[in-house]
Structure 1
Amino acid sequence: MTPEELSAAVSACLGESVAQGELSLGEGQELPPVKVERPRNRDHGDWATNIAMQLTKKVGRPPREVAEILKGRLEALDGVASVDIAGPGFLNITLDAAAAGELARTVVEQGRAYGRTDSMAGQAINLEFVSANPTGPIHLGGTRWAAVGDSLARVFESQGAAVTREYYFNDHGAQIDRFAQSLLAAARNEPAPEDGYGGAYIAEIADRILAQDPQALESEDPQETFRAAGVDFMFGDIKESLREFGVDFDVWFHENSLFEDGAVDTLLEQLKQQDSLYFNDGAWWLRSTDHGDDKDRVVIKSDGNAAYIAGDIAYFKNKRDRGADLCIYMLGADHHGYVARLKAVAASLGDDPAKVEVMIGQMVNLVKDGVAVRMSKRAGTVVTMEDLVGAVGVDAARYSLTRYSVDSNIDIDLDLLAKRSNENPVFYVQYAHARTCAVDRNAEAAGVTREAFDAALLTHETEGELLAALGAYPSVVAEAAALREPHRVARHLEALAGAYHRWYGACRVTPQTEETVTDTHRTRLWLNDATRQVLANGLELLGVSAPERM
């Protein structure tokens, strides 16, 4: 019995109790959806629900009385072994072995669809992440967002949402001017400007520009020549790095386009007309405090140039005009002020601030031999995506960056990720998948097939634990989507891998030399293959490979 089937069964019992007058809903009240979860302590049953506590105000009865009514109906269901009432009114449900074991066949039959739902169908999400400035290689913070952002997009899509992965190139303003000046200085063999960019990559790009256009230094406007060519080269490098990291974007959006096509000017004029902008001290200000920001923001500076928020305003409007129901911005640790700022932007445009979500990612450090790694050969003092991938590979890099909450600072231990041992979390999970494949190969050689299935034979303690982990997977993915926390998937895969390794050590799928093949072996093969499927499904959501051999 799957959690969805059990939830439906509890809902049916609830509906029957209302229809037959055992429970009476108050005027205007509706029955809430039923959710079942795995209890933390397996001694408390296979599944638990707090529906009785949710109903107490709706039916005007104490939760334990509601629980008693539901308990009698649930115990009469096929597949339910027992129901206990705990605490203020929790219902702890234990399934009989056959009902619990049916999950193995369900998972195999559903395959890649297991854990996928349509709960977010019809929702269009614009997910903007990485968005590193085109003035240098992607650093570790951007690499974290590449891993987390792509995984979150995959999680959303698994729940039916339509996701646009978007990269915003900040190719307008003073930072690009400094980048161009740095390239020009390198081409002339001069020191970098005081506030310019360093690192060997600047000299590399300057050389590439000169190789492409040997007359670049003699052009009418050398700085503009180096700016245009340098930005193109940097864009190309960034796109290639992300592609090799397994991250593909649907939209590569250029900030500069908002200024070139007049979108910024048009919107700012509109905001002036509706008094959302006011003039003070020679500058134009957005009345963002009217919408919860801690201070009003300068939109057009006293020198007449647009401030960064001017592009933000036009960019949000552009996203909404393209059909985004929700705009999620994944920003770095120094962008906390943007949460209220971007919501104020939406409100100033007459839109719903709830259409904006801002996620803030914390810092990432590389550690080797217990010491922080700070230097990059190519980018000076910045550790880049290429540095990390070169050290541990794409799979380990993506997994290690995704398995933590974005709210936490993380240290990536290069020594640990190089180990082929259970200490290394990505190896631990991938090895579990490879082991399920090895069991399949051995089973085929021994003549064990999935021609028979008897769920009642899955009675070993480790089988109950493994089935519990398999059954919890869909709710873990749903929570990862709802809470914007793909790390929940990684952590659950580690728990599932642990349950599988323990089962592997206790239960045989292939018979010993003198034994004959039995239905127990065949049924265990179903359980093995169900585990393989869920591990593969989860690793796919993380953008990590599921190897068949290791």
Structure 2
Amino acid sequence: MTPADLSATVLHAVRRAVDEHVLRAPVPARVRVERTRPGGCGDYASAVALQLAGPAALPPRHVAEILRERVAGAPGIGRVEITGPGFLNFTLDASADGAGHRALVREVREQGLRYGHGDAFAGELLRFHHAREIRAAVTAHAVGALVRAQGGIVGVGCDGAPDPEWALLGITAGAEGPSLAPSTEIRPVPAGATAGELYSRLGSDAARWGLLRPAGHDHAPLGDDLLVQGEGNALFLVRYAHSRVHALTRGAALLGFAVTPGQDTAGTEDVPGAEALALLALLADHPAVLAAAAHHRAPDRLARHLEALAHAFLDFHDAASPLPVGDEKPSAAHRCRLALAEAAGTVLAGGLSLLGISAPLHL
């Protein structure tokens, strides 16, 4: 069950409660579910009961009880608990979720680099402007890419004449798209260096990652450690994970097997362990991460998600190799693992592309 599936299931429970006249409140357009935070309960949580309590004139926990009765037992949901003032906490039923996992990997493979793109801003006209400063320029253009990926029509402009050196970091114009009003300012903490200085020392990809990875209100660390080829460098880790996926695909081809389009693959029945489930969960979260990054004008959210995805992929790879080891022969299990690995590589490449960073096949 993906977050979108869970959201739809809870929304259906709200509609049922309203139709049965047990709950007197307007049905929301959608129900937001989020991954449970460390120390929390279950796999996902929702505050929908707290949102409905006021209009329903009922205590939040009472609303949560009404919804729990209508969600418990739904396919893919193992347990529903109520915590705090009325939060609903969902534990998914992994044993019943093989079909959902296969569908998720198939969806990633079919949509390719556009997996996770949505319509949250479909048809909306938005404009962003930024100071004549390189971090502001890179951030504004990354925000523009994220909003376009959600269907928005975007213009990006500079408060002053664009610096020609910005082209070194992939910004080839000072304004893109239609002239729209009103305009939203993108104002991160300045980089304290020029585009030319950053490019000559770090190159385009490392400079962009260094500028975009921290939250806008934090200073951007732009030291030479962005070039270190080791697991302590998050950019290297993300790009290494992507290149490792392609190495697996090449290795599988040499061994005479591959995952073909439309092949039914990548459930967890042949991909044992928590590592596969963690990787699948992050793949399922990707559309929500892209939508949130666009909504909050925060490309750092996408960068952190890619880091988590890279770690999860490498953990999965170490726990269950997608390639035969020793005297093993290629099997259906290896194809399942390879399909899951290739889905992770696709999402890593798509996320880096939205940040304006290359995803090399070899490192």
| Pairwise same-fold verdict (TM > 0.5) | yes
Over 3 Å counting, the alpha-carbon distance change for 1:447 and 1:18 in structure 2 is farther
The within-5 A match list for 1:45-60 is 45-60=42-57
Task: Indicate the residue corresponding to 2:228 in structure 1.
Answer: 419
The within-5 A match list for 1:354-369 is 360-365=187-192
Contact 2:188–2:217 under 8 Å retained in 1: yes
Normalised by the length of structure 2, the TM-score is 0.90
1:494-544 Cα offsets, whole Å, 9 max, x none, are 111111111111111112232233322211122111111111111011100
Q: Does 1:116 align with 2:107?
A: no
1:216-259 Cα offsets, whole Å, 9 max, x none, are xxxxxxxxxxxxxxxxxxx7xx43x222321132748xxxxxxx
Q: Does 1:494 align with 2:271?
A: no
The one of 177, 180, 183 aligned to 1:324: 180
| CA apart distance, 1:58 | 2.0
Distance in 2, Cα, partners of 1:21 & 1:449: 54
| CA apart distance, 1:107 | 2.0
Over 3 Å counting, the alpha-carbon distance change for 1:111 and 1:44 in structure 2 is farther
Large movers: runs of 4+ above 3 Å = 29-32, 167-170
Over 3 Å counting, the alpha-carbon distance change for 1:110 and 1:81 in structure 2 is farther
The one of 45, 64, 68 aligned to 1:71: 68
Contact 2:49–2:61 under 8 Å retained in 1: yes
Paired letter, 1:117 = G
Contact 2:109–2:346 under 8 Å retained in 1: yes
The one of 130, 133, 143 aligned to 2:134: 143
The one of 385, 390, 400 aligned to 2:210: 400
Task: Indicate the residue corresponding to 2:200 in structure 1.
Answer: 390
Contact 2:210–2:220 under 8 Å retained in 1: no
Q: What SS does the aligned partner of 1:455 have?
A: coil
Over 3 Å counting, the alpha-carbon distance change for 1:168 and 1:43 in structure 2 is closer
1:258-303 Cα offsets, whole Å, 9 max, x none, are xxxxxxxxxxxxxxxxxxxxxxxxxxxxxxxxxxxxxxxxxxxxxx
Normalised by the length of structure 1, the TM-score is 0.61
Q: Which has the larger radius of gyration?
A: 1
Q: What SS does the aligned partner of 2:301 have?
A: helix
Distance in 1, Cα, partners of 2:115 & 2:91: 22
Contact 2:131–2:160 under 8 Å retained in 1: no
1:290-333 Cα offsets, whole Å, 9 max, x none, are xxxxxxxxxxxxxxxxxxxxxxxxxxxxx9xx651431234xxx
Contact 1:167–1:249 under 8 Å retained in 2: no
The within-5 A match list for 1:102-501 is 102=102, 103-131=104-132, 142-169=133-160, 238-239=163-164, 241-249=165-173, 251=175, 324-330=180-186, 360-365=187-192, 383-414=193-224, 416-450=225-259, 451-453=263-265, 455-457=267-269, 458-501=271-314
Contact 1:112–1:537 under 8 Å retained in 2: yes
Over 3 Å counting, the alpha-carbon distance change for 1:443 and 1:169 in structure 2 is same
Distance in 1, Cα, partners of 2:11 & 2:239: 38
The one of 295, 312, 317 aligned to 1:504: 317
Contact 2:212–2:303 under 8 Å retained in 1: yes
| CA apart distance, 1:435 | 1.0
Task: Indicate the residue corresponding to 1:81 in structure 2.
Answer: 78
Over 3 Å counting, the alpha-carbon distance change for 1:461 and 1:513 in structure 2 is same
Distance in 2, Cα, partners of 1:99 & 1:45: 21
Distance in 2, Cα, partners of 1:43 & 1:523: 31
Instruction: Count residues with an aligned counterpart.
Output: 355
| CA apart distance, 1:32 | 5.5
The within-5 A match list for 1:513-528 is 513-528=326-341
Contact 2:268–2:277 under 8 Å retained in 1: no
Paired letter, 1:327 = S
Task: Indicate the residue corresponding to 1:44 in structure 2.
Answer: 41
Task: Indicate the residue corresponding to 1:536 in structure 2.
Answer: 349
Distance in 2, Cα, partners of 1:420 & 1:55: 50
Distance in 2, Cα, partners of 1:31 & 1:328: 27
| CA apart distance, 1:45 | 2.5
Q: What residue ranges of structure 1 are gaps of 5+ in the alignment?
A: 132-141, 171-234, 253-318, 331-359, 366-382
Over 3 Å counting, the alpha-carbon distance change for 1:35 and 1:509 in structure 2 is same
1:446-486 Cα offsets, whole Å, 9 max, x none, are 33432331524144111111122222222222221221111
Over 3 Å counting, the alpha-carbon distance change for 1:17 and 1:388 in structure 2 is same
Q: What residue ranges of structure 2 are gaps of 5+ in the alignment?
A: none
Q: Aligned-pair RMSD on alpha carbons?
A: 2.3
| CA apart distance, 1:401 | 0.6
Q: What SS does the aligned partner of 2:361 have?
A: coil
Contact 1:64–1:85 under 8 Å retained in 2: yes
Contact 1:470–1:534 under 8 Å retained in 2: yes
1:342-377 Cα offsets, whole Å, 9 max, x none, are xxxxxxxxxxxxxxxxxx332335xxxxxxxxxxxx
Distance in 2, Cα, partners of 1:508 & 1:126: 46
Distance in 1, Cα, partners of 2:131 & 2:257: 48
